[in-house]
Chain A
């Protein structure tokens, strides 16, 4: 274990808590455990963020409580499957009602459908079930590391996790209503909503070709358990390979469309500049001359065994972590302990599917003093991480090779 209790529960906790509370009131004791923030996030995050515990959760880094945005410390990302109680939480809007499974229905239709259907949770469970292990990564994961910083939720490394999602194929659901030839997109709406009615509801769409892939599902289980409320109970959309923005929680509406979905959350939100990233998946019906929706996750990796600055014994050290990408699969992970002059291959662990975290580890001998470790993952398309940030205004797709320093 990695000094987790000391880091979380000692230090300047009491002083920080007192300073935060000021004249407003009493903070329950032992609550404001300090969070181990990712180095490089805006300094303001450190002025208030603590560990906090949501119902059914272990303590997470509380960036904001309303709407809830909580990230996982790297200790929670040491296994290829992230347990439900360690999984990050992300909402856009503040009204996050608990949905009653008994009265729950998904309305399926749209102008691109031949008919209309209502699907209950029981109906979903009676359909052929598919289980897929897939990384859910927030589009804005690592936004806080952007240089220059950009406005938004200032995530460090932990706005991601990998789970086994079980549910019915979206394709099978769409088959119940039948699609017209002219369908270009499939749109999703969830039960969560804004605090004030005028705020645009969170509605997202994906291209039809992605909607009908065998691995795009409406999931009701996460790691063998009913989907927890904070992860979209009773059911949510799973779009393996694509960033979390499309994985609509508390899904209540699925609409096949013959025209592009509009609204704030499709444009200007969740967009990247055209041509800046080496992506294969395109969302052509939403593309314009300058911007296009974010699509698949870029190849990436994270050291989860150590933090930069950690002290280690001189001698053999095993540095381990996870590698992942948009579903092509990880081919190799290279590690350099001399600042990038020479590279060795990490050992890859169990492959539980092309959309999942791939564990990898690397042994090396530390010398007295400072030892740098740099990691670069390559996927089966031959795409690798970048040496420098590809800056974009929303801070997406940061897959700069991580480099840490260990002191022996």
Chain B
């Protein structure tokens, strides 16, 4: 629930009061909803295009696994699979 609330808040804030608020439009493709709902609970979406285009599918797998295993992002297995596929397909080399 928390992730959804935060994602919604981020959209509301975009383009309003904060001069430094970043507006990142990810590539619209299957899975983008899961990326937006999960990833920006902890960080803005800029980290995705920032790390492109050079990570292989294995590189994006390792990155998402780091977020879950080392940094304890609360992402369930089904979402993680979709996120990895989205990143590899849209931001992978």
CB distance A44 to B51 under 8 Å? yes
Partner of B22, one of A44, A62, A94, A200: A62
**0/1 per residue, A371-382, Cβ < 8 Å to B?**
000000000000
Residue A127, interface by CB 8 Å:
no
CB within 8 Å for A94 and B42 given contacts A63-B50, A199-B71:
yes
Q: Which A residues from 39 to 87 make CB contacts under 8 A with B?
A: 42-45, 47-49, 52-54, 62-68
Name the CB-closest residue of B to A269: B70
CB distance B43 to A67 under 8 Å? yes
Report which A residues bind B (CB closer than 8 A). Answer: 19-28, 31, 42-45, 47-49, 52-54, 62-68, 94, 148-149, 151-154, 194-196, 198-200, 264, 268
CB within 8 Å for A199 and B72 given contacts A44-B91, A52-B19, A66-B44:
yes
A353 to B47, CA, bound (A): 36
Report which B residues bind A (CB closer than 8 A). Answer: 2, 11, 14-16, 19-25, 40-44, 46-55, 59, 62-63, 70-74, 91
Partner of B15, one of A24, A45, A152: A24
CB distance A44 to B49 under 8 Å? yes
Residues of chain A within 8 A of B53, CB atoms compared: 42-44
Name the CB-closest residue of A to B60: A151
CB distance B54 to A25 under 8 Å? no
Shortest A192–chain B CB gap in Å is 13
CB distance A42 to B50 under 8 Å? yes
CB distance A44 to B25 under 8 Å? no
Give 27 pairs: A residue, B residue, CB < 8 Å, sorted on A.
Answer: A20-B23, A24-B25, A25-B14, A25-B16, A26-B15, A27-B15, A31-B19, A42-B51, A44-B53, A47-B52, A48-B24, A48-B46, A52-B20, A52-B22, A62-B46, A63-B46, A63-B50, A64-B46, A65-B21, A66-B44, A148-B54, A149-B54, A151-B62, A196-B2, A199-B73, A264-B70, A268-B70
CB distance B23 to A21 under 8 Å? yes
A35 to B43, CA, bound (A): 21
